[in-house]
A and B are shown apart, each in its own frame.
Chain A
């Protein structure tokens, strides 16, 4: 691909990424939101993070089958405990990476 192909591709990707990020904010930030919507939206972060995370721990990404024995899940348990105890984002990332690296070395 040449420069203009890349520019077209990435400008298109950028546009379809930017609009979902911007439009709700631009619209809703100048509205008085009803209480039920505020309550519902407060549950969105935990729901999204859990939905992003769970399939990567409990399912094989190539075959899309249920899998309870993944090293990702094994490492997630001490990593979760570390996160609960310390509430340190940087520390959790490092501990997770280290443990995952170690499980790779012993497999």
Chain B
């Protein structure tokens, strides 16, 4: 049943112009950053270079791609529940013999497949340099994994926000607010003692940073997966509570 929802979301997504506009705009922005990184790197003397080219690419290109997916996920997610509540088409699913868990996972899967090209774009851009520059492919793979996991979290937040309201615009704003909170919460550590790093741990960008450096840590994997699961469970509960 999961695949039924995933396929439906992928098909419905690609017949609308939205994903195509997002991918082309994303590629234009990423290509601009890619060229800037190359130009800045090649203009420096070998002695003046503080980071390798791969590191420059992962921190700038992949870091910016994460911002793009953060902005994109709620926009693509808004039609998954919000629009269906508004149009009344969710009644079709609610009256069918399906579990809400399958609906949520199916829609997340569909959403991830819709955004996947955006997660792969930075790596594809970087791979253009193979043969002309020395690249650390493992670091690129780790950065791609980090970007994918961060996007998974954004998609889960987008889905949860979408399940909260029948107004798609409001769903996008709610998702942005939640992600903004998770982005800046790391700065709250300055308000507390230096040893207490809970706020820092809650911030997604702190975890993505390690992936971009090429380090895959269990704690970072656990952060993304646990938070994704948390928002998916909230979405499922929200759908169940709509029946009350």
Do A and B pair up? The answer is: no
